Amino acid sequence: MTLFDFARGPGMFWATTIMVIGIVWRLAGAVLLARHKDRSTPRGDNRVAAGLRAVLMRSVPPHELEKHITFQHLTGYAWHIGWFVTFLFFVPHMPFIESILGFGWPGLPNQAIVMLAAITLAILLLLLVRRIVHPVLKVISDFDDYVSTLLACAPLVTGIVAFAHLFPSHHETMIGLHILSVEALMVWLPFGKIFHCVTGLPLRFQIGAAFARRGVKA
């Protein structure tokens, strides 16, 4: 069995299985935790609206902090958008998506995607260097931060290398490595900070709803 056959076969099966086990485990574990009953009188009843408002409002930095974290704010959004557009709109990925969802959608021209992927990777690497060099970030960053960053970079690196045929007689291996890098990300996803992709928005909603009960704008 070649690396490519493994990545497309048992590798993807086990990565998917581990990812699903991990996501459901952590979600169930968190949701089922005991909570102190809130015995105060509710001061607002528009909790759903407040929750949704919090999702929107907490997706941008607070006005007071904005000018201090503009760089982080913009680059963060830029690379997230670039990463997901690359994944979801690169046409050779479409059969994979269709095999899961049963439907697909039109993609973007390959050259546009490759440029976007390269820009996304450049931003990620810039942020990684910043994390290593910045006096505060380097103190508060841990193993999880670095692994998560590298796992976000790996599919972009392997994808660009494969697409550009940098190793022409090893194209199959390069595609295999690309798929394996995605599988590594899938396996790590439930257990590190990347899990924010599952919990992020629901958590903002929950905070907004909880604060609304107390009559506070989140």
Partner 1 sequence: MRDVLVGDYLRGRGVSRRSLLKFCAAAASWMALPPTMAQEIAAAIEKARRPSVIWLPFQECTGCTESITRAETATLESLIFDAISLDYQHTLQAAAGDAAEEARHQAMKENWGKYLLAVDGSIPLANPGYSTIAGVSNLDMLLEAAKGAAAIIAIGTCAAFGGIPAARPNPTGAVAVSDLIKDKPIINVSGCPPIPVVITGVLAQYLTFGSIPDLDRLGRPRAFYGQSIHDRCYRRPFYERGQFAESFDDEGARKGWCLFKLGCKGPITYNSCATIKWNGGTSFPIEAGHGCIGCAEPNFWDKGGFYEALSVSRWGTFGTVAAAAAVGAAAGVASAALARHRQAKAPEGESR
- The dihedral through the CA atoms of 205, 210, 214, 218 has a sign that is negative
Is residue 41 part of the contact set for partner 1 (CB under 8 A)? no
Burial 80-103 (b: 16+ CB within 10 A, else e): eebbebbbebbeebbeebeeeeee
Strand partners, 108: 90
Give the tokens for residue 102: 């049963």
Is residue 73 part of the contact set for partner 1 (CB under 8 A)? no
Give the residue, chosen from 37, 64, 99, 136, that forms a contact with partner 1 under the rule CB under 8 A: 99
Is residue 133 part of the contact set for partner 1 (CB under 8 A)? no
Tell the smallest beta-carbon distance from residue 64 to partner 1 (Å).
29
Task: Please choose, out of 52-60, 67-75, 99-107, 139-147, the segment that lies near partner 1 by the rule CB under 8 A.
Answer: 99-107
CA 98 to chain CA centroid, nearest Å: 20
Is residue 108 part of the contact set for partner 1 (CB under 8 A)? yes
Give the residue, chosen from 111, 133, 135, 139, that forms a contact with partner 1 under the rule CB under 8 A: 111
Is residue 9 part of the contact set for partner 1 (CB under 8 A)? yes
- Looking at residues 170 to 199 of the shown chain, list those that interact with partner 1 (rule: CB under 8 A): 171-172, 175, 179
The rounded distance, in Å, linking the Cα atoms of 153 and 123 is: 10
Contacts 24+ apart (CB under 8 A), 36-42: 38/213, 40/214, 42/213, 42/214
Residues 178, 162 contacting (CB under 8 angstroms): yes
Give the residue, chosen from 2, 46, 59, 72, that forms a contact with partner 1 under the rule CB under 8 A: 2
Tell the smallest beta-carbon distance from residue 168 to partner 1 (Å).
7
Size of the site for partner 1 (CB under 8 A): 49
Residues 192, 26 contacting (CB under 8 angstroms): no
Task: Please choose, out of 58-66, 78-86, 138-146, 162-170, the segment that lies near partner 1 by the rule CB under 8 A.
Answer: 162-170
Q: Is 141 exposed, middle or buried (0-12, 13-18, 19+ CB in 10 A)?
A: middle
Task: Please choose, out of 21-29, 78-86, 121-129, 132-140, the segment that lies near partner 1 by the rule CB under 8 A.
Answer: 21-29
- The dihedral through the CA atoms of 183, 184, 188, 189 has a sign that is negative
Task: Please choose, out of 63-71, 102-110, 129-137, 197-205, the segment that lies near partner 1 by the rule CB under 8 A.
Answer: 102-110
Summarize as ranges the residues that interact with partner 1 (CB under 8 A): 2, 4-5, 7-13, 15-18, 20-34, 91-96, 99-100, 107-111, 165, 168-169, 171-172, 175, 179
